[in-house]
């Protein structure tokens, strides 16, 4: 009787496993379908269009091979926008990470008003970029802006922050730091919360109980994995800057603030050169992947001590 019952039990367990597997696939199907529809297929379409001469609205197009990429690497506008993007990221990423880390340590150490400061410093991240751009445009106006009014009161020359080719990229970078520092702060606060308090107690016994000695001996090393993530995310956010440029300068003056995403938008939706814009997009994505991979390998190795 026991031998007759064993196959039935095995079949029931097998059916139960198959049923659980089917339920799992059914629950993940909407996500998988959405990812394929909104991520995988558009990526394939962009990659395919990069090898065509299709213009927006045209009924016909032809395959041109690598011609778009050959034109791209000889294009002065592309080289300028690539350089502007890298300079922007090189300024925004380290400064915003340093400021965000500093703010996180200060907020975590504060006894009163911790929730208020977290909310106030995170406000630039959740605010509408266009609305904030209008505010910045007023603040930095050459004649009416409070910043230049203060300069004039101090006897300093007025500055065309957003109208001068020599200052516009640095000005946009300062706005980018203001936007990104709160985001870094929140991520770093999460890392600070994960540090065991026992380490600080042990450090106090060894004489490492306050100020910079405690920060460099305990806090900063324990934040290593968090900082790897923060640096990479901040770098990607900096390289993908678009909203501020679109709202304030549209790449001007004379292309001095033109970044890669603005160039892609301009080529695709102003000049209707969709094939060329797709080639720009492919190069941009490859650039992001390479930089992210190199950064991750370097920072991850440093965090884990070789």
DSSP 106: H
* Distance, CA of 83 to CA of 279 (rounded, Å): 18
Structural domains present in the chain: 74-303 (1.10.3720.10)
Per-residue pLDDT, 127: 81
Categorize the per-residue pLDDT at 305 as very low, low, confident or very high, splitting at 50, 70 and 90: very low
Token digits of residue 27? 């629950």
The per-residue pLDDT for range 93-136, each reduced to its tens digit, is 999 999 999 999 888 877 677 777 777 888 888 788 888 888 99
- The 10s digit of each residue's pLDDT in 138-171 is 999 888 899 999 999 998 898 889 989 999 999 9
Spatial distance between the Cα atoms of 103 and 182, rounded to a whole number of angstroms:
8
Please answer whether residues 142 and 158 qualify as being in contact, where contact means their C-beta atoms are separated by less than 8 angstroms: yes
Spatial contact of 65 and 275, defined as CB atoms under 8 Å apart: no
User: Quick one: which H or E segment has residue 277?
Assistant: helix 274-303
Beta bridge partners of 52: 63
Q: Is 90 exceeded by the pLDDT of residue 299?
A: no
**pLDDT tier for residue 301 given thresholds of 50, 70 and 90:** low
Q: Which two tokens stand for residue 162?
A: 């957003």
Q: What are phi and psi of 52, to 5 degrees?
A: -125, 170
Phi, psi at 209, each rounded to 5°: -130, 0
pTM of the model: 0.86
For residue range 52-92, list pLDDT tens digits in order.
998 887 888 889 989 999 999 889 999 999 999 999 999 99
pLDDT band at 216 (very low <50, low <70, confident <90, very high): confident
Evaluate whether 189 touches 108 at the Cβ level (below 8 Å). Answer: yes
CA 170/CA 176 separation, integer angstroms = 10
Helix, strand, or coil (residue 124): helix
Q: What is the mean pLDDT of residues 290-299?
A: 81
């Amino acid at each position: 009787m026991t031998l007759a019952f064993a196959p039935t039990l095995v079949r029931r367990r097998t059916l139960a496993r198959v049923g659980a597997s089917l339920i799992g696939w059914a629950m993940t199907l909407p996500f998988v379908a959405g990812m394929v529809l909104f991520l995988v297929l558009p990526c394939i379409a962009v990659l395919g269009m990069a090898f065509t001469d299709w213009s927006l609205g045209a009924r016909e197009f032809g395959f041109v091979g690598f011609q778009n990429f050959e034109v791209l690497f000889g294009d002065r506008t592309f080289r300028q926008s690539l350089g502007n993007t890298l300079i922007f990221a090189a300024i925004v990423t380290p400064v915003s990470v340093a400021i965000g880390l500093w703010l996180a340590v200060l907020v975590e150490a504060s006894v009163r008003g911790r929730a208020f400061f977290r909310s106030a410093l995170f406000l630039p991240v959740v605010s509408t970029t266009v609305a904030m751009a209008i505010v910045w445009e007023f603040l930095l106006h050459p004649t009416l802006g409070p910043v230049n009014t203060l300069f004039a009161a101090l006897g300093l020359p007025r500055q065309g922050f957003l109208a001068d080719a020599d200052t516009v990229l640095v000005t946009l970078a300062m706005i980018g730091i203001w936007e990104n520092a709160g985001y870094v702060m929140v991520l770093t606060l999460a890392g600070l919360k994960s540090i065991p308090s026992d380490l600080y107690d042990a450090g106090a016994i060894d004489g490492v109980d306050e100020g910079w000695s405690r920060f460099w001996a305990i806090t900063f090393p324990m934040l290593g994995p968090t900082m790897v993530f923060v640096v990479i995310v901040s770098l990607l956010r900096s390289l993908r800057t678009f909203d501020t440029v679109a709202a304030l300068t549209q790449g001007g003056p004379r292309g001095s603030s033109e970044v890669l995403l603005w160039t892609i938008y301009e080529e695709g939706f102003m000049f209707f050169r969709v094939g060329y814009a797709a080639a720009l997009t492919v190069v941009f994505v490859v650039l992001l992947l390479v930089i992210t991979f190199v950064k991750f390998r370097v920072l991850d190795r440093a965090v884990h001590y070789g």
